Amino acid sequence: MLITIDQALAPDQVAELRARLQAAPDAWVDGRATAGFQGAPVKFNQQVDEASPVAAECQAVVLAALERNPLFISAALPNVVYPPMFNRYGEGMTFGAHVDGGVRIDPRTGRKLRTDVSATLFLSEPEDYDGGELEIADTYGEHAVKLKAGDLVLYPATSLHQVTPITRGERLACFFWIQSLVRDDGQRTLLYDLDTAIQRLGQTGADETARTTLVGCYHNLLRQWADV
Protein backbone atom coordinates (compact mmCIF):
# COMPACT_ATOMS: atom_id res chain seq x y z
CA MET A 1 0.00 0.00 0.00
CA LEU A 2 1.23 3.44 -0.94
CA ILE A 3 -0.45 6.15 1.08
CA THR A 4 0.12 9.87 1.40
CA ILE A 5 -0.68 11.81 4.56
CA ASP A 6 -1.29 15.51 4.01
CA GLN A 7 0.21 17.93 6.51
CA ALA A 8 1.84 15.37 8.77
CA LEU A 9 3.81 18.42 9.84
CA ALA A 10 2.17 21.83 10.12
CA PRO A 11 3.74 24.75 8.18
CA ASP A 12 5.30 26.22 11.34
CA GLN A 13 6.90 22.86 12.15
CA VAL A 14 8.30 22.60 8.61
CA ALA A 15 9.70 26.13 8.93
CA GLU A 16 11.27 25.25 12.28
CA LEU A 17 12.95 22.13 10.88
CA ARG A 18 14.21 23.95 7.81
CA ALA A 19 15.67 26.73 9.95
CA ARG A 20 17.38 24.27 12.31
CA LEU A 21 18.84 22.22 9.46
CA GLN A 22 20.09 25.25 7.60
CA ALA A 23 21.68 26.67 10.74
CA ALA A 24 23.85 23.56 11.17
CA PRO A 25 26.06 23.33 8.05
CA ASP A 26 28.68 21.25 9.86
CA ALA A 27 26.15 18.45 10.55
CA TRP A 28 25.74 17.61 6.85
CA VAL A 29 27.74 14.65 5.57
CA ASP A 30 27.96 12.58 2.39
CA GLY A 31 24.82 10.44 2.08
CA ARG A 32 26.93 7.37 1.40
CA ALA A 33 27.86 7.30 5.10
CA THR A 34 24.90 5.04 5.79
CA ALA A 35 24.36 3.41 2.39
CA GLY A 36 24.75 -0.31 2.06
CA PHE A 37 26.41 -2.45 -0.58
CA GLN A 38 23.59 -1.89 -3.07
CA GLY A 39 22.83 1.76 -2.37
CA ALA A 40 26.30 3.32 -2.13
CA PRO A 41 27.18 3.28 -5.85
CA VAL A 42 23.94 5.07 -6.82
CA LYS A 43 23.52 7.45 -3.86
CA PHE A 44 24.58 11.05 -4.46
CA ASN A 45 23.13 13.32 -1.81
CA GLN A 46 23.84 14.76 1.61
CA GLN A 47 22.35 13.87 4.95
CA VAL A 48 22.53 15.03 8.54
CA ASP A 49 24.91 13.10 10.78
CA GLU A 50 22.65 10.92 12.94
CA ALA A 51 24.80 11.62 15.99
CA SER A 52 24.59 15.43 15.67
CA PRO A 53 22.57 17.52 18.15
CA VAL A 54 20.48 19.02 15.33
CA ALA A 55 19.43 15.51 14.25
CA ALA A 56 18.11 14.78 17.75
CA GLU A 57 16.22 18.10 17.90
CA CYS A 58 14.57 17.57 14.53
CA GLN A 59 13.78 13.91 15.22
CA ALA A 60 11.86 14.92 18.34
CA VAL A 61 9.64 17.27 16.31
CA VAL A 62 8.83 14.60 13.72
CA LEU A 63 8.29 11.75 16.18
CA ALA A 64 5.94 13.86 18.33
CA ALA A 65 3.87 14.74 15.27
CA LEU A 66 3.67 11.09 14.13
CA GLU A 67 2.52 9.89 17.55
CA ARG A 68 -0.48 12.20 17.31
CA ASN A 69 -1.41 11.30 13.74
CA PRO A 70 -4.25 8.73 13.60
CA LEU A 71 -3.79 8.13 9.87
CA PHE A 72 -0.11 7.31 10.35
CA ILE A 73 -0.94 4.93 13.21
CA SER A 74 -3.70 3.22 11.23
CA ALA A 75 -1.66 2.82 8.04
CA ALA A 76 1.73 1.90 9.48
CA LEU A 77 0.72 0.15 12.72
CA PRO A 78 4.11 1.17 14.10
CA ASN A 79 5.99 -1.05 16.49
CA VAL A 80 9.34 0.75 16.30
CA VAL A 81 10.01 3.93 14.31
CA TYR A 82 13.63 4.41 13.24
CA PRO A 83 14.90 7.86 14.30
CA PRO A 84 14.05 10.10 11.34
CA MET A 85 16.95 11.17 9.15
CA PHE A 86 17.26 14.26 6.98
CA ASN A 87 18.66 14.57 3.48
CA ARG A 88 19.32 17.22 0.91
CA TYR A 89 19.63 17.00 -2.85
CA GLY A 90 21.19 19.95 -4.67
CA GLU A 91 21.40 20.34 -8.43
CA GLY A 92 22.73 17.20 -10.10
CA MET A 93 22.18 15.02 -7.04
CA THR A 94 20.16 11.81 -7.30
CA PHE A 95 19.61 8.42 -5.69
CA GLY A 96 19.35 5.66 -8.28
CA ALA A 97 17.09 2.61 -8.14
CA HIS A 98 17.49 0.54 -4.97
CA VAL A 99 15.60 -1.36 -2.31
CA ASP A 100 16.17 -0.17 1.26
CA GLY A 101 18.07 -2.48 3.57
CA GLY A 102 15.82 -5.04 5.24
CA VAL A 103 17.27 -4.66 8.72
CA ARG A 104 18.88 -1.65 10.37
CA ILE A 105 20.49 -1.11 13.74
CA ASP A 106 18.50 1.35 15.83
CA PRO A 107 21.16 3.87 16.96
CA ARG A 108 19.23 4.60 20.17
CA THR A 109 19.14 1.05 21.41
CA GLY A 110 21.62 -0.94 19.32
CA ARG A 111 18.79 -3.35 18.56
CA LYS A 112 17.94 -4.61 15.12
CA LEU A 113 14.86 -3.15 13.45
CA ARG A 114 13.10 -4.77 10.49
CA THR A 115 12.15 -2.18 7.89
CA ASP A 116 8.58 -2.97 6.84
CA VAL A 117 7.48 0.50 5.77
CA SER A 118 9.56 3.27 4.18
CA ALA A 119 8.62 6.89 4.75
CA THR A 120 9.54 10.20 3.15
CA LEU A 121 8.37 13.49 4.63
CA PHE A 122 8.84 16.37 2.21
CA LEU A 123 10.35 19.55 3.64
CA SER A 124 10.65 21.58 0.40
CA GLU A 125 7.77 22.96 -1.63
CA PRO A 126 7.52 21.21 -5.03
CA GLU A 127 7.81 24.50 -6.91
CA ASP A 128 11.20 25.17 -5.30
CA TYR A 129 12.97 22.45 -7.31
CA ASP A 130 12.75 20.56 -10.59
CA GLY A 131 13.29 16.81 -10.73
CA GLY A 132 13.61 15.06 -7.39
CA GLU A 133 10.54 12.85 -7.83
CA LEU A 134 10.44 9.82 -5.60
CA GLU A 135 9.62 7.06 -8.09
CA ILE A 136 8.26 3.93 -6.45
CA ALA A 137 7.60 0.70 -8.33
CA ASP A 138 4.94 -1.71 -7.14
CA THR A 139 2.82 -4.43 -8.72
CA TYR A 140 0.63 -1.76 -10.33
CA GLY A 141 3.48 0.11 -12.02
CA GLU A 142 5.55 3.17 -11.21
CA HIS A 143 4.36 6.06 -9.07
CA ALA A 144 6.10 9.45 -9.13
CA VAL A 145 5.65 11.15 -5.78
CA LYS A 146 6.40 14.82 -5.20
CA LEU A 147 4.42 16.29 -2.34
CA LYS A 148 3.95 19.61 -0.61
CA ALA A 149 6.18 20.50 2.33
CA GLY A 150 4.83 18.75 5.43
CA ASP A 151 3.24 15.87 3.50
CA LEU A 152 4.33 12.28 4.09
CA VAL A 153 4.35 9.21 1.87
CA LEU A 154 4.42 5.65 3.24
CA TYR A 155 5.21 2.68 1.00
CA PRO A 156 6.29 -0.93 1.43
CA ALA A 157 10.00 -1.08 2.15
CA THR A 158 10.19 -3.99 -0.28
CA SER A 159 9.63 -1.55 -3.18
CA LEU A 160 12.26 -0.67 -5.76
CA HIS A 161 12.51 3.12 -5.73
CA GLN A 162 14.69 6.06 -6.76
CA VAL A 163 14.96 9.83 -6.47
CA THR A 164 15.34 11.38 -9.93
CA PRO A 165 18.11 13.96 -10.49
CA ILE A 166 17.54 17.52 -9.33
CA THR A 167 17.84 19.94 -12.24
CA ARG A 168 17.01 23.14 -10.33
CA GLY A 169 16.89 24.19 -6.70
CA GLU A 170 17.17 22.06 -3.60
CA ARG A 171 15.10 19.22 -2.19
CA LEU A 172 15.09 18.85 1.58
CA ALA A 173 13.35 15.83 3.10
CA CYS A 174 13.07 13.63 6.14
CA PHE A 175 13.16 9.85 5.70
CA PHE A 176 12.82 6.88 8.03
CA TRP A 177 11.53 3.35 8.38
CA ILE A 178 8.97 1.62 10.51
CA GLN A 179 8.98 -1.87 11.94
CA SER A 180 5.27 -2.53 11.87
CA LEU A 181 3.28 -4.68 14.25
CA VAL A 182 2.11 -6.42 11.04
CA ARG A 183 5.00 -7.19 8.71
CA ASP A 184 2.96 -8.27 5.69
CA ASP A 185 1.84 -5.38 3.50
CA GLY A 186 -1.32 -7.21 2.34
CA GLN A 187 -2.45 -7.85 5.92
CA ARG A 188 -1.63 -4.28 6.90
CA THR A 189 -3.68 -2.98 3.98
CA LEU A 190 -6.69 -5.10 5.00
CA LEU A 191 -6.51 -3.76 8.54
CA TYR A 192 -6.20 -0.19 7.27
CA ASP A 193 -9.23 -0.59 4.99
CA LEU A 194 -11.24 -2.18 7.79
CA ASP A 195 -10.29 0.56 10.24
CA THR A 196 -11.14 3.28 7.72
CA ALA A 197 -14.56 1.72 7.08
CA ILE A 198 -15.24 1.37 10.81
CA GLN A 199 -14.38 5.05 11.38
CA ARG A 200 -16.75 5.98 8.57
CA LEU A 201 -19.55 3.87 10.03
CA GLY A 202 -19.05 5.69 13.33
CA GLN A 203 -19.42 9.05 11.60
CA THR A 204 -22.54 8.11 9.65
CA GLY A 205 -24.72 6.72 12.42
CA ALA A 206 -24.51 3.08 11.38
CA ASP A 207 -26.01 0.21 13.38
CA GLU A 208 -23.96 0.14 16.57
CA THR A 209 -24.12 -3.63 17.11
CA ALA A 210 -22.82 -4.34 13.62
CA ARG A 211 -20.09 -1.76 14.10
CA THR A 212 -19.05 -3.32 17.39
CA THR A 213 -18.78 -6.70 15.68
CA LEU A 214 -16.50 -5.21 13.03
CA VAL A 215 -14.34 -3.55 15.68
CA GLY A 216 -14.02 -6.99 17.27
CA CYS A 217 -13.00 -8.48 13.92
CA TYR A 218 -10.36 -5.76 13.54
CA HIS A 219 -8.80 -6.50 16.89
CA ASN A 220 -8.99 -10.24 16.49
CA LEU A 221 -7.24 -10.02 13.12
CA LEU A 222 -4.64 -7.71 14.63
CA ARG A 223 -4.14 -10.24 17.45
CA GLN A 224 -3.59 -13.02 14.90
CA TRP A 225 -1.15 -11.07 12.76
CA ALA A 226 0.75 -8.81 15.15
CA ASP A 227 4.23 -9.63 16.33
CA VAL A 228 5.32 -7.57 19.30
Chain residues in the site for Ni ion (CB under 5 A): 100
- Min CB(89)–Ni ion separation in Å: 13
- Min CB(39)–Ni ion separation in Å: 7
* β-pairing verdict for 141-145 and 134-138: antiparallel
**CA angle, residues 211, 73, 104, in degrees to nearest 5:** 140
- Min CB(115)–Ni ion separation in Å: 10
- Min CB(98)–Ni ion separation in Å: 6
How far is it, in rounded angstroms, from Cα 85 to Cα 163? Answer: 16
State the Cα torsion 126-149-114-54 to the nearest 10°. 120
**Residue nearest Ni ion, Cβ-based:** 100
**Which alpha helices (H) appear in the chain, and where do they start and end?**
11-22, 53-67, 70-76, 185-203, 208-225
Region of residue 44 (phi > 0: left; psi between -120 and 50: alpha; otherwise: beta) = beta
